[in-house]
Amino acid sequence: MDVITPRVPIIVALDYANAADALAMARALAGSGCAVKVGKELFTAEGPAIVGRLSELGLPVFLDLKFHDIPNTVAGASRAAAALGAWMINVHASGGREMLVAAREAIATAAARPLLIAVTVLTSFDRGRLAEIGLDIEPAVQVERLARLTREAGLDGVVCSPREITVVKKLGRDFLAVTPGVRPPGSAQDDQQRIATPAAAVAAGADWLVIGRPITRAAAPAAAVADIAASLVAPTTSN
């Protein structure tokens, strides 16, 4: 099985409740060179077949199921996700070292190994919410700690907000930063709080930009992908 690789560093979030809506958007994006993200809602509603149907359209799939369980269970889930042909999968770094290593080892021999990414601290957590679950520290401190653990466990990278990219990239230039909270200049902020433009996120070191509504609600989604991709290329100066 060949895993298709994106041509542009953009992952479009297919935040839909059913396959018909997701596939309609995917057809609009086919050929744009982006990847797509399937989350818990779409996956739970439509089942694993959605991954294959999106891949058939030539779109690499980030299967965003954020596994978090005992090592043996996460290993099995990761192996199953890899067998679906996902291009990128993820787990929670707070599942701990053994769980992270088990996930990595479980996909090591997959016919096509997906990129394995860890979520550090969900952006829905602030300092108060972290304290409630027994972590009386700044979220950024916990992000750095979990990113380091993820690196040590041999995973490919982490999901992080634009403001955490610098900390993550200090762990290694090849350690991937997958970054949501990205908004092209002039587009609606929606419910995102800590945003950066695509160009600023990439300049800070982001490897993959997760973008939903600015693309899925555009009149021409593929053109929106192309515009964002063009904005990432530094303008050449002429003299």
Catalytic residues: 66
Beta bridge mates, 12: 36, 211
**Segment holding 73, helix H or strand E:** helix 71-83
Backbone angles phi, psi at 171, to 5 degrees: -80, -10
211 binds ligand C5P (CB under 6 A): yes
Q: Of the candidates 212, 221, 224, 229, which one interacts with ligand C5P according to CB under 6 A?
A: 212
> How far apart (Å, rounded) are the C-alpha atoms in residues 170 and 70?
29
* Residue list 176-195, contact with ligand C5P (CB under 6 A): 180-181, 190, 192
| Smallest gap from residue 123 Cβ to ligand C5P (A) | 4
By CB under 6 A, residue 198 contacts ligand C5P: no
Count of residues in contact with ligand C5P, rule CB under 6 A:
14
- Among 10, 13, 206, 224, the residue binding ligand C5P under the rule CB under 6 A is 13
Regarding 42 and contact with ligand C5P (CB under 6 A), the answer is no
- What does the DSSP 8-state code read for residue 109? T
- Report the nearest approach of ligand C5P to the CB of residue 236 (Å): 29
Options 4, 21, 30, 39; binder of ligand C5P; rule CB under 6 A: 39
CA angle 157, 159, 165 (to 5 degrees): 85
Beta carbon nearer to ligand C5P, 110 or 226: 226
Q: Could you tell me the smallest distance in angstroms from the CB atom of residue 229 to ligand C5P?
A: 16
**Hey, what are 200's tokens?**
């600023």
Q: Which window, 74-82, 83-91, 127-135, 206-214, contacts ligand C5P (CB under 6 A)?
A: 206-214
SS3 at position 71:
helix
Q: Any idea what DSSP says for residue 205?
A: T
Contact between 74 and 44 under an 8 Å Cβ cutoff? The reply is no
Point out the residue whose Cβ comes nearest to ligand C5P: 212
Handedness of CA 69, 42, 7, 223 (dihedral sign): negative
d(CA 81, CA 43): 11
Binding site for ligand C5P (CB under 6 A): 13, 15, 39, 123, 159, 161, 180-181, 190, 192, 210-213
